[in-house]
């Protein structure tokens, strides 16, 4: 189920529980208050009763009353007794004190000298008289005064002679207004109301005037009861209309009940506690308005809702936190997974790259080997071409040496040592030339090993020129070598550069073969961080697509003259040395120019 529905359910449950708990606590508080008020007032009433109860007994002990009852016509005794009654009334602060004979006729009273004097009146119907006469003990009775119409508590005691014979009854009446006003102490609850009910359920003390002389017993009408008519003469004793409310859930004490009372036309709910007063058949009823219960319920509801809100927010916070933590953990896992995947990918591509690198290295090695082989093949091809020339070159000096040797023998026979020496010198010169020729071919044919180093470009040109000039084909060609005075140090390999230059120069010589004034110019230029060595000729020039000449096997020559590999190999050699080799037709005249560019060595700091 959606958590919102759960939250709503919990909210409702909390509200209901808080409301019920508030009611329970509220009623408990009100009940507590009612019990406290009951206890207080019960004590107060008991104290009052205990204060007055011994009074008539003490008065009955007075010998004057006894004497008067024995001689009721003695005017002097009557006067004395009346005075005594008055004095006693003043002392005990009672409203009435009077003495009745056996028939209930008042023979002495504290108000003997007043117009409404009790003297001569008969109270034999009053229970306080009949009870005292019947039991010979003290009696207490509550009633409205017949003459005064004031509520009073009547305390009575029989007056006996020495033989214990009852002669009459002395009665003391206390006004109860004082008891009522005691209820309304300043500290008492404004919500609290009180009624004291007699044995028949009629209220004779009440905190509200309109609740006096009302019948609090349900379903019975006291209006017709003659005893009650005597006790409350002239009062209607209407029913109080107390409606009991059955709310067992909220109540805990058996002496309490919830009632609805009509107050100024409005029904109000009260919590009622009933307590019997000591030694009397009276009941004290304390009624407390249950208005504060609603307030307590509202407070509990507010508290409950706040508690719920607090709990709900905490739950939301904890839930969010757990959610985030879970999310973070999930993200972490995903990240880890991705990293693992990525690492695996990288490792795979690394492996692939390594394999590729190895393959490339292998291919490169293969290429290098093939290059070397090609270079070698090209050289051998050049050698093959040269061998014809070489044959001619070697034959000439050999024939000359032969001739010089023969001549020398003849000169030796003739004894011309001078000529022999001159011929031998010629032979040595020719042998040197032949040795130089073979040495050059040997240099050309050898393979270059080792890494590139710093070399003087001038020396490479010198070496190449030696090879070229040794060939017959270079005869008649004007070779200009603009040799710089300073060293031309560059990054490269002397033998390889020499081989490239030999190739360039050989090509140039072949290009100028048919030209009337054949000429080759070799020069070196400073290009900043590199040197440029230019081999120019005034020959036939390059085809329109000048870069085509660098393609392998491109040749315009006969099979005897060329294979079309020279420039292709030369360019690869120069590339391997970190330089460039380009060729184009001259701008200033017929012929081609080939430019060999090589980097200057890096200056070490």
Is there a contact between 537 and 508 (Cβ–Cβ < 8 Å)? yes
Given candidates 511, 574, 581, 598, which one binds ligand ADP under the rule CB under 6 A? 511
Beta-carbon contacts of 301 under 8 Å, excluding residues fewer than 6 positions away, are: 15, 18, 19, 22
The least distance separating ligand ADP from the CB of residue 396, rounded to whole angstroms, comes to 26
Does position 515 interact with ligand ADP (CB under 6 A)? The reply is no
C-alpha to C-alpha distances, 381 to 307, 443, 586, nearest whole angstrom: 105, 15, 29
Window 518 to 537, contacts with ligand ADP (CB under 6 A) = 537
Binding region for ligand ADP (CB under 6 A) out of 105-113, 119-127, 161-169, 559-567: 559-567
The least distance separating ligand ADP from the CB of residue 513, rounded to whole angstroms, comes to 10
- Give 292 or 552: the residue with its C-beta nearer to ligand ADP: 552
The least distance separating ligand ADP from the CB of residue 413, rounded to whole angstroms, comes to 52
The least distance separating ligand ADP from the CB of residue 461, rounded to whole angstroms, comes to 16
Given candidates 312, 411, 481, 554, which one binds ligand ADP under the rule CB under 6 A? 554
The least distance separating ligand ADP from the CB of residue 489, rounded to whole angstroms, comes to 27
Given candidates 56, 304, 539, 579, which one binds ligand ADP under the rule CB under 6 A? 539
Does position 287 interact with ligand ADP (CB under 6 A)? The reply is no
Given candidates 542, 573, 577, 581, which one binds ligand ADP under the rule CB under 6 A? 542
Given candidates 117, 274, 473, 555, which one binds ligand ADP under the rule CB under 6 A? 555
The least distance separating ligand ADP from the CB of residue 540, rounded to whole angstroms, comes to 5
- How many residues in the shown chain lie near ligand ADP by CB under 6 A? 22
Backbone dihedral region for residue 592 (phi beyond 0: left; psi -120 to 50: alpha; all else: beta): beta
Binding region for ligand ADP (CB under 6 A) out of 144-152, 182-190, 414-422, 550-558: 550-558
Instruction: Report the 10 Å Cβ neighbour count for 7.
Output: 14
Beta-carbon contacts of 593 under 8 Å, excluding residues fewer than 6 positions away, are: 534, 535, 536, 537, 583, 584, 585, 586
In angstroms, rounded to a whole number, what is the distance separating the alpha carbons of residues 535 and 541?
13
Q: What are phi and psi of 206, to 5 degrees?
A: -155, 150
Query: How distant is the alpha carbon of residue 184 from its chain centre?
Result: 61
What strand order describes the sheet that includes 519-526?
Answer: 478-482, 519-526, 530-537, 592-599, 580-585
Given candidates 26, 56, 562, 579, which one binds ligand ADP under the rule CB under 6 A? 562
- Residue with smallest beta-carbon separation from ligand ADP: 562
Given candidates 507, 538, 572, 597, which one binds ligand ADP under the rule CB under 6 A? 507
The least distance separating ligand ADP from the CB of residue 381, rounded to whole angstroms, comes to 8
- Give 258 or 511: the residue with its C-beta nearer to ligand ADP: 511
Handedness of CA 301, 306, 307, 311 (dihedral sign): positive
- Give 39 or 554: the residue with its C-beta nearer to ligand ADP: 554
Does position 573 interact with ligand ADP (CB under 6 A)? The reply is no
SS3 assignment, position 488: coil
Beta bridge partners of 273: 256, 286
> If you write DSSP's letter for every residue of 123-182 in order, what string do you get?
-TTSHHHHHHHHHSS-EEEEEE-TTT--EEEEEEEEEE-TT--EEEEEEEEEESHHHHHH
The least distance separating ligand ADP from the CB of residue 592, rounded to whole angstroms, comes to 4
Question: For the chain, first and last CA: distance in Å?
Answer: 80
Tokens 């008042």 belong to which residue? Answer: 106
Window 416 to 445, contacts with ligand ADP (CB under 6 A) = none
Given candidates 45, 592, 596, 598, which one binds ligand ADP under the rule CB under 6 A? 592
- Give 214 or 571: the residue with its C-beta nearer to ligand ADP: 571
Given candidates 145, 564, 590, 601, which one binds ligand ADP under the rule CB under 6 A? 564
- Give 182 or 546: the residue with its C-beta nearer to ligand ADP: 546
The least distance separating ligand ADP from the CB of residue 426, rounded to whole angstroms, comes to 36
Window 474 to 503, contacts with ligand ADP (CB under 6 A) = 503
The least distance separating ligand ADP from the CB of residue 349, rounded to whole angstroms, comes to 41
The least distance separating ligand ADP from the CB of residue 600, rounded to whole angstroms, comes to 27
Instruction: Report the 10 Å Cβ neighbour count for 163.
Output: 5
Supply the angle between the helices 457-469 and 494-511 in degrees, to the nearest 10: 50
- Give 523 or 555: the residue with its C-beta nearer to ligand ADP: 555
Given candidates 255, 283, 540, 546, which one binds ligand ADP under the rule CB under 6 A? 540
Q: Are strands 256-263 and 489-492 parallel, antiparallel or unpaired?
A: unpaired
In angstroms, rounded to a whole number, what is the distance separating the alpha carbons of residues 219 and 222?
10
The alpha-carbon radius of gyration of the chain (Å, integer) is 76
Does position 567 interact with ligand ADP (CB under 6 A)? The reply is yes
Given candidates 343, 556, 575, 584, which one binds ligand ADP under the rule CB under 6 A? 556
- Give 381 or 576: the residue with its C-beta nearer to ligand ADP: 381
Query: How distant is the alpha carbon of residue 584 from its chain centre?
Result: 75
- Give 331 or 482: the residue with its C-beta nearer to ligand ADP: 482
Q: What are phi and psi of 390, to 5 degrees?
A: -60, -40
Q: Are strands 489-492 and 530-537 parallel, antiparallel or unpaired?
A: unpaired
The least distance separating ligand ADP from the CB of residue 463, rounded to whole angstroms, comes to 19
The least distance separating ligand ADP from the CB of residue 588, rounded to whole angstroms, comes to 15
- Give 81 or 533: the residue with its C-beta nearer to ligand ADP: 533
∠ at Cα 603 (600, 605), nearest 5°? 170
- Give 564 or 578: the residue with its C-beta nearer to ligand ADP: 564
SS3 assignment, position 512: coil
Does position 563 interact with ligand ADP (CB under 6 A)? The reply is yes
SS3 assignment, position 93: coil
Backbone dihedral region for residue 279 (phi beyond 0: left; psi -120 to 50: alpha; all else: beta): left
Tokens found for residue 469: 């000039």
Residues that bind ligand ADP (CB under 6 A): 503, 507-508, 511, 537, 539-542, 549, 554-557, 562-568, 592
């Amino acid at each position: 189920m959606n958590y919102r529905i759960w939250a709503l359910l919990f909210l409702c449950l909390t509200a209901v529980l808080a409301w019920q708990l508030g009611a329970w606590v509220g009623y408990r508080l009100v009940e507590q208050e009612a019990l406290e008020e009951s206890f207080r007032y019960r004590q107060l009433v008991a104290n009052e009763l205990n204060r007055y109860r011994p009074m008539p007994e003490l008065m009955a002990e007075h010998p004057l009353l006894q004497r008067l009852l024995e001689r009721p016509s003695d005017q002097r005794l009557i006067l004395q007794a009346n005075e005594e009654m008055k004095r006693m009334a003043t002392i005990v602060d009672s409203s009435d004190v009077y003495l009745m004979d056996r028939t209930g006729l008042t023979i002495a009273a504290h108000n003997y000298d007043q117009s409404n004097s009790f003297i001569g009146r008969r109270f034999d119907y009053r229970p306080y008289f009949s009870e005292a006469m019947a039991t010979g003990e003290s009696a207490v009775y509550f009633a409205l005064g017949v003459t005064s119409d004031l509520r009073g508590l009547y305390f009575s005691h029989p007056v006996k002679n020495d033989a214990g014979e009852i002669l009459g009854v002395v009665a003391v009446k206390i006004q109860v207004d004082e008891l009522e006003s005691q209820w309304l102490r300043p500290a008492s609850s404004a919500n609290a109301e009180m009624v004291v009910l007699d044995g028949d359920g009629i209220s004779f003390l009440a905190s509200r005037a309109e609740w006096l002389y009302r019948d609090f017993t349900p379903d019975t009408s006291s209006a017709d009861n003659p005893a009650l008519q005597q006790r409350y003469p002239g009062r209607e004793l209407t029913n109080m209309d107390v409606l009991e409310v059955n709310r067992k859930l909220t109540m805990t004490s058996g002496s309490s009940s919830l009632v609805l009372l009509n107050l100024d036309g409005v029904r109000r709910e009260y919590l009622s506690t009933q307590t019997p007063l000591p030694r009397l058949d009276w009941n004290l009823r304390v009624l407390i308005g249950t208005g504060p219960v609603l307030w307590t319920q509202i407070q509990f509801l507010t508290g409950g809702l706040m508690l719920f809100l607090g709990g709900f927010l905490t739950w939301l916070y904890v839930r969010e936190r757990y959610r985030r933590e879970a999310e973070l953990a999930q993200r972490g896992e995903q990240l880890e997974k991705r990293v693992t995947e990525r690492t695996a990918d990288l490792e795979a591509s690394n492996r692939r790259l390594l394999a590729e690198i190895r393959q490339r290295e292998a291919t490169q090695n293969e290429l290098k080997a093939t290059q070397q082989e090609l270079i070698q093949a090209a050289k051998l091809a050049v050698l093959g071409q040269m061998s014809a020339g070489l044959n001619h070159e070697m034959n000439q000096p050999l024939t000359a040496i032969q001739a010089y040797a023969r001549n020398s023998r003849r000169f030796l026979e003739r004894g011309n040592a001078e000529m022999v020496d001159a011929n031998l010198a010629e032979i040595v010169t020719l042998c040197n030339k032949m040795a130089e020729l073979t040495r050059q071919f040997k240099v050309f044919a050898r393979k270059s090993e080792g890494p590139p180093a710093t070399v003087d470009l001038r020396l490479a040109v010198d070496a190449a020129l030696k090879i070229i000039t040794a060939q017959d084909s270079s005869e008649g060609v004007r070779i200009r070598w603009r040799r710089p005075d300073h060293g031309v140090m560059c990054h490269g390999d002397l033998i390889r550069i020499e081989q490239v230059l030999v190739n360039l120069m050989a090509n140039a010589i072949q290009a100028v073969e048919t030209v009337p004034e054949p000429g080759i110019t070799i020069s070196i230029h400073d290009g900043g961080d590199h040197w440029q060595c230019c081999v120019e000729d005034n020959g036939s020039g390059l085809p329109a697509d000048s870069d085509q000449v660098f393609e392998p096997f491109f040749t315009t020559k006969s099979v005897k003259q060329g294979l079309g590999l020279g420039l292709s190999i030369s360019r690869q050699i120069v590339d391997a040395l970190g330089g460039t080799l380009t060729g184009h037709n001259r701008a200033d005249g017929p012929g081609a120019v080939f430019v060999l560019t090589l980097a200057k060595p890096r200056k070490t700091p």
